[in-house]
Amino acid sequence: MKFAVSMVLIAFTVGFHGCTPTAKVMKDRTLSADEVLNRVRERNATIHTLRGDGSITIESPEVSNSGSFDMNLKKPDSLRVELTGPFGIHIGTLMLSREQFLFYNWMEKRAVIGKPDGKTLNSMFRLRMQFDEVLHAFTGEFPAPNDGDSIAHFSVEQGLYVVRYRLAQGAKEYRIDGDTFIVSSYRVWDTTGTLALSAFALQPDEGEPVVMPRLLRLVFPKDHRSVTISYDDIHLNEPVVCSFKLPQQAEMIYR
């Protein structure tokens, strides 16, 4: 996919709105690790559909692609993203379901169709992400601990619950906001102790019934690749349409 190449600078800052600082009352951080993770699961379970727009950037050693998006998502199995380049040019439509990956290039009138696995996504966007990881990237969710994972550390640091797990194939860490129960930071290490994934969910929007982060970023340090999603507008649990019908003149390529 070829759309506008740009250099992206993202500053992760916490600011004050307006001229007068507003004090935020922080709740006591007295929950156990299991209680915290249950609250996270409960928060995630309240999101059924998501409709939003904003900007998305995919950075890699080969190229940096940036553009606007308009997205409809229905959990647990449907996603449609409309991608727009400079001057409002319609670049492409990405549709994902449990059964199919489809990307239609509106400029080339060409559709790439394949399985919704990491192989197809990597061939198109140079990203090794599975279907659920793509959905979670838009909703600010991260994989839950597995049955075989064991807690190695639990603490409260700078107002965040910190839970670290020892895995058969490495380790992972959650940093959780104790007010919104959003996982604000998620990191995974491999068996050699090398950081394999670093992800952030920032700028929580408390205007919705369910608090949503407006800035999501996934970094794959070993591959020098990253995805950044910045929302301008978010609507939760409203009717969405995730289906897409190919134009009749579309050339189809199967992978």
Alpha helices in the chain (DSSP H): 33-45, 118-125, 131-139
> Left (φ > 0), alpha (ψ -120 to 50) or beta: where does 123 sit?
alpha
Is the pLDDT reported for residue 183 higher than 50? yes
In the prediction, which pLDDT does 6 show? 37
Contacts of 91 (CB under 8 A, 6+ apart): 1, 3, 67, 83, 84, 85, 105, 106, 107
Tell me the per-residue pLDDT of 117-170, one tens digit each, with 9 for 90 and over: 777 777 777 777 778 888 888 998 998 888 889 999 999 999 999 999 999 889
Name the band, by pLDDT with cuts 50, 70 and 90, for residue 18.
Answer: very low
pLDDT at 207: 67
From CA 49, how far away is CA 66, in angstroms rounded? 25
DSSP 116: S
Torsion angle of C-alpha atoms 17, 18, 21, 24, degrees rounded to 10: -40
DSSP classification of residue 156: E
Q: Is residue 21 scored above 70 in pLDDT?
A: no
Q: What is the pLDDT of residues 63-122, one digit of tens each?
A: 788 899 999 999 989 999 999 988 889 999 999 998 899 999 999 999 999 888 777 777
Single pTM value for the model? 0.82
Q: What domains, with CATH codes, occur in the chain?
A: 46-254 (2.50.20.10)
Q: What is the percentage of the chain residues whose pLDDT exceeds 70?
A: 89
* Residue 184 in this model has a pLDDT that exceeds 80: yes
Alpha helix stretches (DSSP H) within 33-153 = 33-45, 118-125, 131-139
Average pLDDT, the chain: 85
- How far is residue 177 CA from its own chain's centroid? 17
CB atoms within 10 A of CB 84: 19
Tell me, rounded to whole angstroms, the distance of Cα 151 from its chain centroid. 25
Q: How far is CA 58 from CA 5, 18, 111, 218, 220, in A?
A: 10, 32, 20, 10, 11
- pLDDT value of residue 223: 87
Closest CA to 49 of 226, 245, 208: 208
